[in-house]
Structure 1
Amino acid sequence: MASDLARALAAAVRGEVRFDTAERAVYGQDASNYRQVPRGVVKPADRGDVREALRVCREFGVPVVARGSGTSIGGQAIGPGAVVLDFRRHFGRVLEVDPERRTARVEPGAVLDELQRAARPFGLRFGPDPSTHSRCTVGGMIGNDACGSHSLAWGRTSDNVHGLDLLLADGTELSVTGPLPPAERAALAAAPGRVGRLHRELQALAADNLALLRRAMPVLPRRGSGYPLDALLPERGYDLVRAVTGTEGTCALVLGATVRLVPEPAVRALVVAGYPDETAAADAVPALLPLAPLTCEGMAADLVAALLASGPRPPVLDRLPDGACWLFLEVGGPTAAEAADRARELAAAVRRERSAAVALVTDPGEQRALWAIREAGAGIVTRLPPGPDGRPGGAAWPGWEDSAVPVNQLGSYLRQLRMLLKRHGLRGVPFGHFGEGCVHLRLDFPLRERPSAFREFMLEAADLVVAHGGSLSGEHGDGQARGELLPRMFPPEVIDLFARFKRIWDPDGLLNPGLLVDPRPLDADLRFPGRELPLALAYPEDGGSLLSAVHRCVGVGTCVDTSSGVMCPSYMVTGEERHSTRGRARLLGEMLRGELVADGWRSPEVREALDLCLGCKGCASDCPVHVDMATYRSEFLYHHYRFRPRPAAHLSFGWLPLWLRLAHLAPRAANAALRGRFSAPVLKRLGGIDPRRALPALPERRFTAWFRAHRAANQVPAGTGAGPGTGPDAPAVLLWPDSMSELLDPAPARAAVLVLERLGFRVLLPSGPVCCGLTLIASGQLGLARRVAARSARTLGELPPGLPVVGLEPSCTATLRSDWPRLLPDGAGELPSRVRTLAEFLDEQDVELPELTGRAMTQVHCHQHAVLGTGADRRITGRLGLDNRELDAGCCGLAGAFGFERGHWEVSVAAAERALLPAVRAADPGTLLLADGLSCRTQLTQLEPSARPSHLAEVLLRAFEQAEEPPGHSPG
């Protein structure tokens, strides 16, 4: 049947139809705890495709699930045996912005940030702003009635939708708007056919149950549970927009929406108030709301602890006042002075009410940095830091993540919620929209070991929130996580009305079944089962388990934000979910589960998805839970090709240091072969290299040969106090001669020696050849990589106390610092902690640098971004006097061997053309182009011949040489 359905859909729609195993695997999860493998996936190109896809599914009796960015936390974007409609892929345009009416027309797959960008030139914005704004879709926001930090000022999604174009399961189309006068309601009920019948039945549902709907539906600013049936009441104007918004795709498919826009405050100011704990902060909120702040967000100290456990300390944390919980209170105004006045008034009120510590933040950059911490909370708190009692940190899961109570009940609710957590032995980090009584909380449920604990807590938590007059959900909706709990919040009569409401819209139950009506059990279909397999690498942060490592991914979708950043280069090019970090993590999870992806380490689906992983390590830093796909890829390749023939590129590039050393035995002959008209194509074919790639030439001599000659010619007697730092009394530094600097491009290493000596350092080299093993690690040849790394560690021997080690190639330097401890858990010694980039080393030294004014731009190597950081580089270029701009270009697209390998050319070039090459072409003449990575420099020179990228060492040497020129000398 599945093949028949796939053929029928492919014949009916212009968009993509995918029924393969990999696609079903990656669309079988959203950001919830659940796994529901779909029958297939359709990516409609337009409204016609949606109509046709629904028609075909209806004929086959197959349910349909609408999906935006797949960040639903309750399990609303998945469905067992359903066809998933991915609206985000092709059906996501912002069609029109009308500044006079302050409205916009959008397709359901439009990403919120795209809508905001379209509205910004008119001084307008869409009010709701959930933390996933960079990837969530308007259709998804309508499905869950999303809110965000500013709903206090601008309301929920349902407050900001003017009209909806809907498609019913039977193919009927209709448009609905907001409140209607009685005459228009009567006209709708009198309409012929299916549309009139629908209006008559909906109006009868309300008319027959007026008292029940008025009494039993809690009046809350954040009621996200159940169907919003009270929107049908006469006093609400029979508001079908509100009645449909928040129905989680169970009643109709959205074909289009007209949304309202609000004026964007010209200037904002932020008041941060510090309290002893979150209950004190919650108790302070009711008295502050009459001052009408734009936001009133709560963030406790344990969220900051989770942030610090996941990465370096952001300097902006110094702006937080004393306290263990903070309220973020934002105000706006037409001018900076007016915004500041409002902020001071609000700060004074804060001090009067609870004697809180207060900080006023008016700098826009500091405000953005503080809000980034709050927005990152959904990702940060998925990994809990170690507890104050010594309890280890670990994964935290959704389920009870957005309950809401009346604001005046929030303090009491938080106190009792803490006691409930203690009774169940659970831990989490509460934060959220305190101004509307909504609390976000992920908990360390033992979902793999003891799922029954999940159910036990959820039942008691539901009773607790209902006892406080609250809602199971404040903005994420119910889904499978809370649908089963609705009878604890609503009386049986209302539950019956929910079923009646669903049948009116969707009598055959084709649209997203099993959620709000006849829900699946909250502890069924969990995604966590899987097997543990023997591994080649250590995973100390995940208890030695690859299963735990891949389940770090909770689906928040940072990796599908294509607006900026390193993660994930291949997804940014292809747009395929299987090429995103979370898609690959899900495929690995399915491989370990062994049901859908049944071939284990031999899986072709996993191999194909990982084939386009560039190994950039961007996910290791940019992913909020630090999914390290480059490491998982190496692990997979090791097992996949164990005792099997490897691709030619694994041998040509994995063993590249060996081939280069052999080639240097006769460098002229090697260069002739590499450049030969007939020999070069043969070498490319044998090496698995794309024919469009140029093979690099070998240098005339290796770096160490140059170094020996240089040292012989520049020895300075000890104690002379003159000349470069080559004497025995000069402070020593060990330069790591990585294989690329030694054998392929020694210019940066030569420049580094000359710079360090000018600064008074004595440069040392290892006593013999060394290699970090990166090329072997990247190709999954981990056994050989371990032997190469161990031999290099033995060559170094025991480092003298305090001897720093400077690396020049970012990828090799990052390998020494982060991969060697995993590869050689007992043999890496002190080396990883001693390794510095050239910029880091100079930044730590009290040295005077010459001046080199002018403009510069830097292409940051991915591994430097992910592992090493760029703060020292910015400080060094600043000390030089350069006006330097770091490009937000992400990966250059070459990524070591990736861009050379046959089959990767198109993705490699497209990654470079996304941002890097346009920025280089648009640069002012004379702009210095810095690129420490050999891959980056190679990509730039091969794809943009006018580019002249330089390593930082070469730029520093140029500065010294210019400073040493006699006055009046003119270069060139």
Structure 2
Amino acid sequence: MGVSHARTMRLQERLRDEVRGDVDFSTTARATHSADASIYRHPPLGVVYPVDGADVAAVLALAREFDVALTMRGAGTSIAGQVLGRGLVLDCSRYMSGISEIDPEGHTAWVGPGTVLDELREAAGKHGLTFGPDPSTHSRCTLGGMIGNDSCGSHSVAWGRTADNIEELDVLLADGTRLTVGRTSPEELRRRCAEPGRVGDLYRGLRDLSTANLELLRTGYPRLPRRVSGYALDALLPENGFHLARALVGTEGTCAIVLGARVRLMPAPPVRALVVGGYRSMPAAADAVPDILDVAPLTVEGMGADMVETVLAHAPGGPGPTALDRLPPGRGWLFLEVGGDTASEAEGRAGELATRLEAGTTTGTIVVTDPAEQRKLWSIREAGSGLVTRAPDGTEAWPGWEDAAVPPEQLGRYLEDFQELQRQHNLRGIPYGHFGEGCVHVRLDFDLDTAPGRANFRDFMEAAADLVVSYGGSISGEHGDGQARGELLGRMYPPELVNLFAQFKFLFDPDNLLNPGIGVDPRPLDENVRVSGPARQLPLALPYPHDDGSLAKATRRCVGVGTCVDTSSGVMCPSYMVTGQEEHSTRGRARLLGEMLRGEIITDGWDSTEVREALDLCLSCKGCLSDCPVNVDMATYKSEFLHQHYRRRIRPVTHYSLGALPLWLRLAAPLAPQANGMAQTRWAGNLVKRMAGIAAQRELPTLAETTFLRAFHRRRRAAGPSRATGGSGRAGTTVLLWPDTFTNYLEPRIGAAATEVLEHAGFTVIVPRNPVCCGLTWVTTGQLNVARAVMRHTVRTLAAPLRAGVPVVGLEPSCTSVLRGELPEYLSAASENADVAAWATQLGQQTHTLAGFLNEYAPDAEFGNLDVDAITQVHCHQHATLGFSAEERLMERVGLHNRTLDAGCCGLAGNFGFEDGHYEVSVGAAERRLLPEMRAATPDTAVLADGYSCRTQIEQLGDRRAQHLAEVLRTAIPT
């Protein structure tokens, strides 16, 4: 199905003429859709985002005319490579979503293929219903993708797989025939078979296939709840109602295109309780499962100590030690959920289940009824499922052998044999899974970079398939076969049944137009591996200490699970939440950088305009560093790219204006009144904005007439050495208050407030004699040589207090984050002076937020009870690197009844929201949640935001004045 360049151009023209949706054959689209969450890579010819079924039919007709394959794609989170193709990719997630009908009495709903699962669950929840299957990607996976893979999730032990919950499908065949399929009564089957044309031919062929192979269809499949591999042709048996819709579920887009589905909904128990049982090992936990299945729990999830230890090692991004400490003793655990109509009913069932566990081999049990505590414990499982892709020591782990299933009563023995198989192949992985159905997830540290490593990968995959089959299991129990396991179907099924799969595919798609290479005549499992292959040796400026100094390895942190395309909460990724464009997601940008380093699709390295344009809307908010389960740090990768891209080029004007903001503010400070007067004059202010590349809609900040440092020194000379005014800080403790650029030149009142608070708490406050800077504005604009020079100057200036062990308190979260993170990292290179590197490390270790410092050094400092309602917008960098729990504890201490907003990034993000061309995205990010929260807040509700960007965005767009925590604490000082 190769297509020449001329024919490709003609195909693009025809698609743009005949399709109402988006048609994108750009390098960017090909790169972002070249991979899913698997280990494979297949750059497509182009990507189409159809609007409706008519669009899909038009694309299909042109695909037939041009002899181009079609591959369907939802959220792109498939783990086996089944949404990758070399032809056209049809992405239904952009437009073909929505719920056209919910029947609360009949417990069904009609949904589009691009509908996100959580959207369906939210709509169904209004009627006390839910869609049973709930994979871990529920916040972004689409119903079309779930139907293609026959997805399951943690509740399938009670509510079944996707196939069990599909009533009808609206499908389009490869020749353009559209029909609705579902359960077929004998009378309906006879009528269908009698129809002329394509529909009659199809039903007669399916009827003949089924009736001629009744014994094979009844005996050729393993009997277990999580059999996902192969085509479910046993759905065509008479006793199963000749259910053609369920036979198509799990065919991975190889037989028909799903345009809509009528799904079955389940009553959702209003109250749930969680039981956790501990065991001496994970196999021992698995052995306990068969004895509790008759209690009919909603979930039976299992995991071992290696997952818990991984979560603990990543505690800043995980649930933290509080949740981990709740676990019963042991090395393996079962998480069991039960439901009820009332709290007492759910608690009673949980108690009965705990009693059942305690009669067995458990090392202890706990019953958790509080929903918040349940979420914390479940977060161990959810965080771990992402973290297992990267071990604490940096070792990469990959999908491939991802989700095999065996009968639950065999699971304990299978796990022991599987661990032995890992040892034989020198592989490590962290298994966990849906133990109630015998399904085990694991990612293994395959060496996919070398020929011997790939040979070992193949040997292991074949041996693992044989092991599962020996236990009567399925090589896939949740995520489908795709390229990863399609080649192994012959080891699981007899040749006669594999031949029936090919016949079934031929009846629907005789020309092999739909997703060729998947299912029937599969691609080899060890070809097209994206993490192998060439990597260009491009110069690097940053050390990447957690990725062995390799940007390629850093970008490979992104395994494609798509947390960044979840728009429901969190900080990551603000620009994607506004635009919905894949290249503006963390995943999309990582794909583009990876392709740049590979050099095949993107061939011009650091000169790439595609990478530059995708990174242009990256806010450098660092949300991905914490929200991404494997800590992708796109802000750092962007700094590297900008540094390299503009090394021999004239930079955008904002790099010289906003990038050097600390320098310009220092020069302007002595002339603050005149500068402010000019900025407030319309013509002069507009001229400054045009010259500086600042968006015309923005207001220029007002310079303080006296800087914080000048005011501090003046006050100190007048008052003499500072003394405690009633606090209980550690005796004789001196603290250095960091005079960040924003506090020093723009809002010195915050520095003054912090000084009073620290002195009240019993500390002697000092500041540097001269301005210092963390270098952040140069970092975010990719001026890394200047940033390092600024950082060196800073640590040399602070050498004496650093050597003396003086703690440092930062007020601006972004600067504090740099002092703790980038500065020690950037100055740790071997080329740096040893003293500078040591001081940089000390600065990182000795730097605290104001709340963190007060909680640690002055836990008994006396403050009044404010008794005030408050809402707080957390700065992105604080969310990502510093955490906010210390602030919440301190606010509770002083009587602030605070609600921390889940508003994501404010949208300003340092220089980003001020830059011309970014205003609309900046406002869009703020309008998602932050600005509606500001409008809804009562006038007497205090608004807190420690970040200068956040306060500015709230003031300029939300018409509210936000305060720094230091200002609020000053009001709590007893008079």
Q: TM-score, normalised by structure 2?
A: 0.96
Counterpart for residue 756 of structure 1: 758
Is 1:116 aligned with 2:130?
A: no
Is 1:839 aligned with 2:855?
A: no
Is residue 724–residue 763 contact of structure 2 (8 Å, CA) maintained in 1? no
- Equivalent position amino acid for 2:765 in 1: V
Counterpart for residue 710 of structure 1: 715
Aligned-partner Cα distance in 1 for 2:727–2:201: 90
- Equivalent position amino acid for 1:855 in 2: D
Moved more, 186-195 or 567-576: 186-195
Give the Å deviation of 1:382: 0.6
Question: Does the C-alpha gap of structure 1 residues 486 and 705 become closer, same or farther in structure 2, counting only changes over 3 Å?
Answer: same
User: 1:912-927, aligned counterparts within 5 Å?
Assistant: 912-927=926-941
Counterpart for residue 389 of structure 1: none
Counterpart for residue 3 of structure 2: none
Aligned-partner Cα distance in 2 for 1:722–1:262: 63
Is residue 538–residue 605 contact of structure 2 (8 Å, CA) maintained in 1? no
Give the Å deviation of 1:725: 8.3
Give the Å deviation of 1:310: 2.1
Counterpart for residue 430 of structure 2: 429
Counterpart for residue 197 of structure 1: 201
Counterpart for residue 54 of structure 2: 48
Is 1:513 aligned with 2:516?
A: yes
Cα deviation code 1:496-535 (max 9, x no counterpart): 1111110001111111110111111101011113234321
Aligned-partner Cα distance in 2 for 1:773–1:375: 36
Cα RMSD after superposing both structures: 1.5
User: 1:885-904, aligned counterparts within 5 Å?
Assistant: 885-904=899-918
Is residue 709–residue 771 contact of structure 2 (8 Å, CA) maintained in 1? no
- Equivalent position amino acid for 2:301 in 1: E
Is 1:647 aligned with 2:652?
A: yes
Q: Quick one: which of 666, 669, 673 aligns to 1:661?
A: 666
Counterpart for residue 451 of structure 1: 454
Aligned-partner Cα distance in 1 for 2:855–2:863: 10
Aligned-partner Cα distance in 2 for 1:895–1:426: 42
Is 1:316 aligned with 2:318?
A: no
Aligned-partner Cα distance in 1 for 2:942–2:346: 40
Counterpart for residue 378 of structure 1: 385
User: 1:81-480, aligned counterparts within 5 Å?
Assistant: 82-178=87-183, 180-312=184-316, 313-385=320-392, 392-449=393-450, 450-480=453-483
- Equivalent position amino acid for 1:733 in 2: V
Is 1:7 aligned with 2:13?
A: yes
Is residue 32–residue 72 contact of structure 1 (8 Å, CA) maintained in 2? yes
Counterpart for residue 744 of structure 1: 746
Any idea what SS the aligned residue of 2:658 has? Answer: helix
- Equivalent position amino acid for 1:445 in 2: F
Counterpart for residue 832 of structure 2: none
Give the Å deviation of 1:623: 0.2
Any idea what SS the aligned residue of 2:292 has? Answer: helix
Is 1:485 aligned with 2:488?
A: yes
Give the Å deviation of 1:726: 14
Aligned-partner Cα distance in 1 for 2:99–2:841: 56
Cα deviation code 1:10-68 (max 9, x no counterpart): 11111111110001100111000001001111111122211212122221111111111
Cα deviation code 1:577-620 (max 9, x no counterpart): 00000000000000000010001001000000000000000000
Cα deviation code 1:803-833 (max 9, x no counterpart): 2100000000001101112211135131101
Aligned-partner Cα distance in 2 for 1:236–1:332: 30
Question: Does the C-alpha gap of structure 1 residues 294 and 724 become closer, same or farther in structure 2, counting only changes over 3 Å?
Answer: closer
Aligned-partner Cα distance in 2 for 1:911–1:652: 24
- Equivalent position amino acid for 1:766 in 2: P
Aligned-partner Cα distance in 2 for 1:310–1:445: 22
- Equivalent position amino acid for 1:586 in 2: R
Moved more, 552-561 or 46-55: 46-55
Any idea what SS the aligned residue of 1:273 has? Answer: strand
Moved more, 925-934 or 208-217: 208-217
Aligned-partner Cα distance in 1 for 2:725–2:188: 92
Is 1:879 aligned with 2:885?
A: no
Is residue 72–residue 253 contact of structure 2 (8 Å, CA) maintained in 1? yes
Moved more, 269-278 or 542-551: 269-278
Is residue 532–residue 545 contact of structure 1 (8 Å, CA) maintained in 2? no
Any idea what SS the aligned residue of 1:332 has? Answer: strand
Give the Å deviation of 1:673: 2.6
Give the Å deviation of 1:436: 0.5
Is residue 728–residue 762 contact of structure 1 (8 Å, CA) maintained in 2? no
Is residue 532–residue 547 contact of structure 1 (8 Å, CA) maintained in 2? no
Aligned-partner Cα distance in 2 for 1:631–1:304: 29
Is residue 824–residue 843 contact of structure 2 (8 Å, CA) maintained in 1? no
Give the Å deviation of 1:393: 4.2
Aligned-partner Cα distance in 2 for 1:168–1:195: 10
Q: Quick one: which of 604, 615, 625 aligns to 2:630?
A: 625
Cα deviation code 1:470-493 (max 9, x no counterpart): 111001000000011111111211
Is 1:933 aligned with 2:947?
A: yes
- Equivalent position amino acid for 1:797 in 2: A
Q: Quick one: which of 775, 778, 784 aligns to 1:776?
A: 778
Counterpart for residue 861 of structure 1: 875
- Equivalent position amino acid for 1:672 in 2: G
Aligned-partner Cα distance in 2 for 1:658–1:904: 23
Number of residues of Structure 1 aligned to a counterpart in Structure 2: 950
- Equivalent position amino acid for 2:539 in 1: P
Is 1:68 aligned with 2:70?
A: no
Aligned-partner Cα distance in 1 for 2:241–2:702: 76
- Equivalent position amino acid for 1:924 in 2: T
Q: TM-score, normalised by structure 1?
A: 0.96
Question: Does the C-alpha gap of structure 1 residues 97 and 769 become closer, same or farther in structure 2, counting only changes over 3 Å?
Answer: same
Aligned-partner Cα distance in 1 for 2:65–2:862: 77
Give the Å deviation of 1:723: 4.6
Give the Å deviation of 1:384: 1.8
- Equivalent position amino acid for 1:954 in 2: E
Cα deviation code 1:238-290 (max 9, x no counterpart): 11121000000100011101111110112111111111111111111111111
Cα deviation code 1:47-97 (max 9, x no counterpart): 2211212122221111111111000000011112x1111111111111221
Is residue 811–residue 850 contact of structure 2 (8 Å, CA) maintained in 1? yes
Any idea what SS the aligned residue of 2:54 has? Answer: helix
Is residue 560–residue 580 contact of structure 1 (8 Å, CA) maintained in 2? yes
Is residue 394–residue 547 contact of structure 2 (8 Å, CA) maintained in 1? no
Counterpart for residue 29 of structure 2: 23
Aligned-partner Cα distance in 2 for 1:653–1:516: 54
Any idea what SS the aligned residue of 2:366 has? Answer: strand
Aligned-partner Cα distance in 1 for 2:731–2:378: 51
Counterpart for residue 969 of structure 2: 956
Cα deviation code 1:313-364 (max 9, x no counterpart): 2411122101111011111111111111111111111111224411111111
Any idea what SS the aligned residue of 2:377 has? Answer: helix
Any idea what SS the aligned residue of 1:857 has? Answer: strand
Give the Å deviation of 1:134: 0.4
- Equivalent position amino acid for 1:76 in 2: Q
> What are the ranges of 5 or more consecutive residues in structure 2 without an aligned counterpart?
1-6, 829-836
Question: Does the C-alpha gap of structure 1 residues 709 and 526 become closer, same or farther in structure 2, counting only changes over 3 Å?
Answer: same
Moved more, 312-321 or 704-713: 312-321
Aligned-partner Cα distance in 1 for 2:730–2:435: 64
Aligned-partner Cα distance in 1 for 2:346–2:188: 43
- Equivalent position amino acid for 2:433 in 1: G
Counterpart for residue 687 of structure 1: 692
Aligned-partner Cα distance in 2 for 1:158–1:51: 25
Is residue 776–residue 787 contact of structure 2 (8 Å, CA) maintained in 1? yes
Aligned-partner Cα distance in 1 for 2:554–2:706: 44
Any idea what SS the aligned residue of 2:782 has? Answer: coil
Give the Å deviation of 1:199: 0.6
